[in-house]
Structure 1
Amino acid sequence: MTLLKRNTVLILLAFFAIYVIWGSTYLLNKIAVTELPAFMLAGIRFITAGSLIFLIAKFLKIPLVVTKRQLGNSIIAGFLFLTFGNGVVVWALKFVDSGFAALEISAQPLVVLLLMRILQNKRIQPMSFIGVGLGMIGIYLLVSQKQIISQDGALLGMILIFFCMISWAYGSLFVGKADLPPNYFVNTGYQMLTGGIQLFLISALIGEEWISPVDWSVPVKWSMLLLILLGSIVAFTAFNYLLKVVSPEKVATSTYVNPIIAMILGWYFLKEEITLQSVIAALILLTGVYFINTKKRITLFSRFTSKKLG
């Protein structure tokens, strides 16, 4: 196999990972959280994944030494992304469908854009304004469905997921400027390990009843195994690999695919309902995310308007 063909295969496999594997984590978390306490579940996932990453790094002779500042920033990032950003989403999955959660979280670029405007005074590009408007309409259509809001705890779940998006968005801005371990694999390991420890502490503080893996059902065992190996290690490694070999815009297409995968899997395996309003909301919301993410359209629009004004 030639080098070109080998790279093409790797790129295709990496896209499969960030499209399908990440999209399936909503289903896997939903299956596991029906039986296990949410923070214990997430804690086990990230502590195990972080430990495995360190073992792999040690085997590959990647240095694990970090400064105190880098460790402290990793702990903060681990809290924003994993302890709160993921752990609370897993808890919210007790009350909302996996496909619904994925679709709501697809508005993440919108939240990042608004936080950049509020905290960094960054100018919002013209096409991004359209994206924000469409995103807000999509979110409204999504969360205003009576059959969803009427479910026990659904409204609380929606609100918590929104705060998780804020946590992820702020975490993204924080990581962009923070002093973190230079090796992304080691950086991920520290975030997962420290985030997992924090999840365990929260689990203990709120009095979750810990369940031994021996007592887990077979579907839950498989879900946890897939979340650890595929969702936490393989998909993230694929994500970082793609950032090096293809354009960020192409990697960002996972934002559009993940919720679709999650909705289909939730419908097929868990019999979750996909309403017409959810489909319309998805189309509007993901179109808005597209306008926010794409830089080419912003550039073209800016040139067009400058010519018109000139």
Structure 2
Amino acid sequence: MAKMQRNTVLVVLSFFAIYFIWGSTYLWNKIAVTELPAFMLAGIRFVIAGSLIFIISKILGFSLKITKQQFKNTILAGFLFLTFGNGVVVWALKFVDSGFAALEVSAQPLVVLLMMRVFQGKKIQPMSIVGVILGITGIFLLVGQKEIIAQDGAILGMVLIFVCMLSWSYGSLFVGNADLPKNFFVNTGYQMLTSGISLLIISTLFGEQWISPIDWSIPVITSMLLLIIFGSIVTFTAFNYLLRIVSPEKVATSSYVNPIIAMILGWYFLNEDITAQSAIASVVLLTGVYFINTKKSLTIFSRFSGKRIPKDPVG
């Protein structure tokens, strides 16, 4: 695919989006899920975001026509990334702090690398082996804190987030070879809309008590609007734009920034604690992610994903 014309201002704004806006989604989800049922929250977010993407696509003249196989693949990709990968993480935020969740999710490149070894038989590069060791050490330090484990539902939250990483990582391998709509904006619209509908169905089956928007508090309404407009539409568009303009390893640096932003915002707005062990774990874990995301390692990812490295589950 030919490189798009580079616009310096647009590149800077796009990096701001994937660094700071995506890192902020943990805070917004945490605020919203304190009042709203998790699956209802995620379902409404993606149904509205997907619908808006379709409207924007029509205005821009993009064709919404796709094949039956592409439609099936968008449903599966949407389930792996959004229905399960994102919806269950939002549910897990009921039990763990937003900063903790962001830091655990930052280990996702490690899980992808191990899955590629298991399912594809790909050799792990020496730099990535160092990253795996550091990543596992960082996760052990993170989840081994007695003061965190002692909290009600904390272990359940940790396990849920890890399972979601497995879903997101498998989805990363799936989209590399799947027949999906050529236009990434249209592709995103189908994934978000179908996932939103499935999340609302799950919400109904789970017996979640739906809350009318007129009863939402101002912070929840604000968080939902931010998640729909910025967390779903703006940031994903910026992510895909950057993948066409700059090298994948530069885009992957958001993996280092998002957890820091989430931890700072959670501490400032929600009074979440940042323990010394969490700080040490973050340094060790993110250093491991750095080694995994080095250029030599990313050449492995690009063979399967066409230089599209899917982002974290909550964003």
Instruction: Report the TM range for the smaller structure's normalisation.
Output: over 0.9
Distance in 2 (alpha carbons) for counterparts of 1:145 and 1:254: 26
Distance 1:153 1:298, change over 3 A: closer
Aligned to 1:223: 223
Q: Which residue number in structure 1 is paired with residue 142 of structure 2?
A: 142
Task: Say whether the 8 Å CA contact 2:43–2:196 is kept in structure 1.
Answer: yes
1:192-211 counterparts in 2 under 5 A? 192-211=192-211
Query: Structure 1 residue 295: deviation in Å?
Result: 1.5
**Structure 2 counterparts to residues 156-167 of structure 1, below 5 A:** 156-167=156-167
Whether the 8 Å contact between 1:138 and 1:281 is mirrored in structure 2 is yes
- Determine the structure 2 residue equivalent to 1:122: 122
* Unmatched runs of 5 consecutive residues or more in structure 2: 1-5, 300-315
| Alignment-derived partner of residue 88 in structure 1 | 88
CA distance in 2: counterparts of 1:89 and 1:61, whole angstroms: 35
| Whole-angstrom distance in 1 between the partners of 2:25 and 2:270 | 14
Query: Aligned residue for 1:8?
Result: 8
Using the alignment, how far apart are the partners of 1:36 and 1:145 within structure 2? 29
How far is the alpha carbon of 1:169 from its aligned partner? Answer: 0.2
User: Counterpart in 1 of 2:308?
Assistant: none
CA distance in 1: counterparts of 2:298 and 2:259, whole angstroms = 24
Describe the SS at the equivalent of 1:227: helix
Compared CA separation, residues 168 and 66, structure 1 to 2 (3 A) = same
Q: Deviations over 1:89-123 (max 9, x none)?
A: 00000000000000000000000000000011111
> Is 2:173 the counterpart of 1:173?
yes
Answer whether contact 1:95 1:157 (CA < 8 A) is retained. Answer: yes
* Equivalence for 1:284: 284
Alpha carbons of 1:69 and 1:298: their partners in 2 closer, same or farther (altered >3 Å)?
Answer: closer
1:64–1:266 Cα change, 3 Å: same
Task: Tell me how far apart the structure 1 counterparts of residues 287 and 127 of structure 2 sit (CA, whole Å).
Answer: 11
- TM-score, length-normalised on structure 1? 0.94
| Native 8 Å contact 1:97 1:266 kept in 2 | yes
The amino acid that maps onto 1:41 is L
1:92 partner letter: A
Question: What per-residue deviation string (whole Å, max 9, x for no partner) do you get for residues 233-275 of structure 1?
Answer: 0000000010011100000000000000000000000000000
Larger gyration radius, structure 1 or structure 2: 1
Paired position in structure 2 for 1:306: none
Question: 1:304 matched to which residue of 2?
Answer: none
- 1:183-228 Cα distance to aligned partner (Å, 9 max, x none): 0000000000001111001000010000000000000000000000
Instruction: Report the TM-score when normalising by structure 2.
Output: 0.92
Quick check: 1:127–1:298 contact (8 Å CA) kept in 2?
Answer: no
- Distance in 2 (alpha carbons) for counterparts of 1:212 and 1:296: 50
Matches within 5 A, 1:29-48: 29-48=29-48
Contact 1:125 1:298 in 2 (8 A): no
Distance 1:298 1:97, change over 3 A: closer
Q: Matched residues in 2 for 1:297 and 1:59: separation?
A: 39
One-letter amino acid of the counterpart of residue 253, structure 1: T
Gapped runs of 5+ residues in structure 1?
Answer: 1-5, 300-310
2:192 is aligned with what amino acid?
A: M
1:303 match: none
**1:11·1:242 contact (CA, 8 Å) conserved in 2?**
yes
Deviation at 1:135, TM superposition (A): 0.2
Higher helix share: 1
Q: State the distance in 1 between where 2:263 and 2:87 align.
A: 20
Deviations 1:116-148 (A, max 9, x none): 000111110011000000000000000000110
The 8 Å contact of residues 108 and 169 in structure 1, kept in 2 or not, is answered as: yes
> Map of 1:65-80 to 2, 5 A cutoff?
65-80=65-80
- State the secondary structure of the residue aligned to 1:211: coil
Deviations 1:131-183, CA, capped at 9 Å, x for gaps: 00000000000000011000000000000000000000000100001000110
Structure-1 residue corresponding to 2:232:
232
The 2-side partners of 1:16 and 1:130 are apart by: 29
1:307 match: none
Residue 298 of structure 1, CA deviation? 9.1
Q: CA deviation at 1:7?
A: 1.4
Structure 1 segment 262-273 matched on structure 2, within 5 A = 262-273=262-273
What CA RMSD, in Å, does the superposition of the two structures yield over aligned residues?
1.3
